[in-house]
Structure 1
Amino acid sequence: MLTIYPREGSAQPSGVTPQGPGLILMGGGGDIDAAFVWMHDVIAGSKEGNGGDIIVLRASGDYAYDPYLMKLARFNSVRTIKVDPKASAADLATVAGYVRQAQGVFFAGGDQANYVWWKGSPLAAAVQQVYESGGVVGGNSAGLAIQGEWIYDSVAADRAGADVEVTTKNAVPDPAEPIISFTHDLLRWPPLRGFITDTHFVQRDRLGRLAAFLARLHQEGAGDVIGLGIDTGTAILVDKHGIGTLIRNNPHGAALFLRGGVAQPIQQGTPLVYKGITVTLLDQDGQTYDFNKRCAQA
């Protein structure tokens, strides 16, 4: 089942050649105006040009992004498409047709389990094409959670119950618990190869659970994965050179890069023991991280 909301803005295609690619990694909570202005500028190649056609994808909610984005910057058009979790393969192919005509795609928040099942579909391929054609892709909250190579997908937790959630309080005492599940390669952004992203980071006390994810992934053969936790009201904007810049509307917001190695073997019911973890913290507006070199910039 699909809800294809009316297109806001021009009824004609923008015809713009986007000047990216770029990524918006937004940690949750209220949206950050500056991130969408940046999206426009990357697509248009300037602050004044045509910002292209934007598709907002979501599994719940409404079309509130459409007038919001049109007021922020000179986009040619914005359209929201809601993809129900019970949508068919034909529905995903229909949405892909809209996405292929866009220069920007943004994933709204919600539950990432409602996105990861798109893996391998024409819709996922269409989003990939937008980025590879120089467009901008991003997401907030659950829309951020799906951007890394590795995704904590919430599928097993949702299956266990509507109110079941993986938290630091249950992941650290038992990182092997069966409600932790992952999806690999829904989307394939070069800057985020070898990354898993997490959201609402400090606000929901997720440092411990992210460390548990890294240990679990390493034991399952994923290798040296970097965890990226981003706070509410905080975003990283990744440009076409792979340089990410921190922006915030939360004065205390930060982004944390967590890198481990080999944890002690994980066994059911055994607490996490993980030594040698290194942390890189961005906590000031304008600080940058080089996703190519995997390090912060001075």
Structure 2
Amino acid sequence: MSAHIDHRRAEHAQAAGVRPAGALFLIGGALDEDPALIEPLAALLRDAGGDSDRPRVAVFTTASEPPAADSDLAHDAESDEADGAYYVRVFDRHGIEGVPIPVGVSPEPSCANATYSRRRAEHSDVATLVASCDGVFLGGGDQSHYLLALFRGSDVEPGSGEAGGRRETPVMTAIRELFESGGVVAGTSAGLAIQQGAGMVTGGTSELGWSHGARAGYEPDDELRFSLQGGFGFFPEGLLDSHFTEWNRVPRAIRLGSATGQQLVIGVDEHTALAYRPGDRIGDVVGSAGVNTIDLGELETDGTPASPAALGARWTRLMAGDRINFASGVITRASRERAGAGDGPVPAAASALWSDDDGGPRLLALAQALLESSSNVVVGDTAEADAPGFRITLARDERTTRTDAGGFSQLRVSITPKPHHG
């Protein structure tokens, strides 16, 4: 049974004084004006706009880098302002009015003709512009830029240990009130990550997370770090991550969830979105790849800080048309689900599986090959030169299933120090 996205402002709830729930459209990255994502998002915005033939979406590209020179403002350049203009053109081609919001991470406009800056988040006229829209779109880049630009006193500056409170700027309040009154909040990559609450990842790789650990704060490096207070707090079901299987983030999710005490991590692949309705806690998968959940409810940790181990995480992968009910934990599949072993060839153990360039896609391919084979276990190691080294073990048991579309449920994942011989 194919799931669909259905969101309308609840007029009867408003009449009864009940706050209607908004909708989230969480894109894992590489939006690329993909019709499989843009068209469902446009439909959500039209629903939120009610009778409007051309709904309005506030476009934030705050996570992008500020222009270094006026040449970075050009039509084909890359900067916060140029990216904002790009998304306005994208939405226009799909019947949506994109409204660029001039809030950037730079404290002041960064070049002579730039208009975006952090201080614009304090302006009441910019907040009013956001409030006039039917939805918000949050572009990719660095999610910490959203914290720096839209909050004050958030203590997320590089080098900070992030102790202390924070307050919303008027523009952040406008975003929140728009969502809480039934508007749509969409985001890609960093625009997805910022929508979670406590424990939001601020950066880092799987390998460094396992070799060096995870810590609170923010630095522009490859160490695994997270925000104690988190992002906007719109998505309450667990931690969020983007570019998930492409950028090898399954091991990172296990390390981060364990460090922050979170039981569930939801990782969205590129060219894919999770359309989430907080009112009924339902999530629908759209796009060409997958939405992954990493459940740490049964996780056992062992070892030492220098040589950690984590046993028994559960990896589930949902594909287009699949639906997850976060309240009940029930997954409705759009394609046939199969239990037991397959008849494919037994996959060989993998090496250098956590490499930055192709470790993620290879891990997913290894998992899918295992499930199609007659084997129940396969392992993959970090590269020989990496120290300390780690081994990831994928295991099928009586709870594990697979689908014809390439999804699966309850694949057991364990990470241990790599054995050394000789």
Q: Does 1:244 align with 2:283?
A: yes
Which of 54, 64, 70 in structure 1 is aligned with 2:86? 64
Q: Which of 22, 38, 42 in structure 2 is aligned with 1:40?
A: 42
* Residues matched between the structures, number: 258
Q: Find the counterpart in structure 2 of residue 181 from structure 1.
A: 226
Contact 2:25 2:273 in 1 (8 A): yes
Cα displacement string for residues 20-51 of structure 1 (whole angstroms, at most 9, x for unaligned residues): 62111100113433433333333433999534
Taking only the aligned residue pairs, the percentage that are identical comes to 22
Q: Secondary structure at the match of 2:101?
A: strand
How far has the Cα of 1:215 moved from its partner?
0.6
**Correspondent of 2:251 among 183, 201, 208:** 208
Partner of 1:50, secondary structure, is: coil
Q: Distance in 2 between matches of 1:115 and 1:33?
A: 27
* Larger CA Rg, structure 1 vs 2: 2
Check whether the contact 1:195–1:228 (CA below 8 A) recurs between aligned residues: yes
**Distance in 2 separating the partners of 1:166 and 1:90:** 28
Report the residue type matching 2:326 in the other structure.
F
Per-residue deviation, 1:296: 2.0
Tell me what 1:136 maps to: 184
- Give me the whole-angstrom Cα distance separating, in 2, the residues matched to 1:152 and 1:236: 17
Higher relative contact order (CA 8 A, sep 6+): 1
1:112-152 superposed Cα distances (whole Å, 9 cap, x missing partner): 11012324322222111111111100100111111112353
CA 1:101–1:66: 2 relative to 1, 3 Å:
same
Deviation at 1:234, TM superposition (A): 1.0
Paired position in structure 1 for 2:267 = 229
For 2:246 and 2:312, locate their aligned partners in 1 and report how far apart those are by CA, in whole Å.
25
The letter for the 2-side match of 1:241 is D
Q: Which amino acid aligns with 2:184?
A: V
Question: Are 2:200 and 1:152 equivalent residues in the alignment?
Answer: yes
Quote the Cα distance in structure 2 between the aligned partners of 1:51 and 1:238. 23
Whole-angstrom distance in 2 between the partners of 1:58 and 1:211: 29
Do 1:29 and 1:232's aligned partners in 2 also have CA atoms closer than 8 Å? yes
Residues 201 and 229 of structure 1 are in contact (CA less than 8 Å); yes or no, is this contact kept in structure 2?
Answer: yes
Of the three residues 306, 317, 325, the one matched with 1:270 is: 306
Instruction: Quickly say closer, same or farther: Cα 1:288–1:217, change in 2 above 3 A.
Output: same
Equivalent residues of 1:27, 1:141 under 8 A apart: yes
CA deviation after TM superposition for structure 1 residue 98, in Å? 1.7
- The answer to whether the 8 Å contact 2:103/2:118 transfers is no
d(CA) in 2 for partners of 1:79 and 1:124?
16
What CA RMSD, in Å, does the superposition of the two structures yield over aligned residues? Answer: 2.7
One of 37, 43, 53 as aligned partner of 1:50: 53
Q: Does 1:197 align with 2:240?
A: yes
Q: Would you say the 8 A contact 1:40–1:51 is kept in 2? A: no
Counterpart-to-counterpart distance in 1, 2:282 and 2:197: 17
**Structure 2 counterpart SS, 1:275:** strand
SS in 1 for 2:292: strand
Letter in structure 2 aligned against 1:270: A
The residue aligned with 1:9 is none
The 3 A distance-change label for structure 1 pair 233 and 98 is same
Deviation string, structure 1 residues 154-175 (Cα, Å, up to 9, x no partner): 2xxxxxxxxxx51111112232
2:142 equivalent in structure 1:
111
CA distance 1:247–1:84, change in 2 (3 Å): same
The 1-side partners of 2:233 and 2:214 are apart by: 27
SS of the counterpart of 2:301?
coil
Distance 1:225 1:58 in 2: 31
Q: When the two structures are superposed, what TM-score results if normalisation uses the length of structure 2?
A: 0.55
Unpaired segments of 5 or more residues in structure 2? 1-7, 11-20, 65-78, 108-116, 152-166, 217-222, 334-422
- Distance, in Å, in 2 between the alignment partners of 1:114 and 1:51 is 30
Tell me by how many angstroms 1:265 deviates. Answer: 6.8
Structure 1: stretches of 5+ with no match in the other structure: 1-16, 155-164, 219-223
Counterparts of 1:176 and 1:43, CA distance in 2: 37
The answer to whether the Cα contact below 8 Å between 1:263 and 1:274 also exists between their aligned partners in 2 is yes
Q: Output the CA distance in 1 between the equivalents of 2:307 and 2:186.
A: 34
Q: Deviations over 1:44-66 (max 9, x none)?
A: 33999534211110123321011
- Per the alignment, residue 158 of structure 1 pairs with none
Deviation at 1:67, TM superposition (A): 1.6
Counterpart secondary structure, 1:134:
coil
Tell me, in whole angstroms, the C-alpha distance in 1 between the residues paired with 2:226 and 2:145. 14
2:327 is aligned to 292
Task: Confirm or deny: 8 A CA contact 1:55 1:81 kept in the other structure.
Answer: yes
Partners of 1:51 and 1:205 in 2: CA distance: 39
CA contact (8 A) 2:106 2:118 kept: no
Closer, same or farther in 2 for the Cα pair 1:266/1:184, shift >3 Å?
Answer: farther
Is contact 2:276-2:282 (8 Å) kept? yes
Contact kept in structure 2, 1:258 and 1:280, CA below 8 Å: yes
Q: CA deviation at 1:211?
A: 0.7
Instruction: Give the letter aligned to residue 277 of structure 1.
Output: A
Deviations 1:230-270 (A, max 9, x none): 1111111123533211111x4xx111111114653796x42
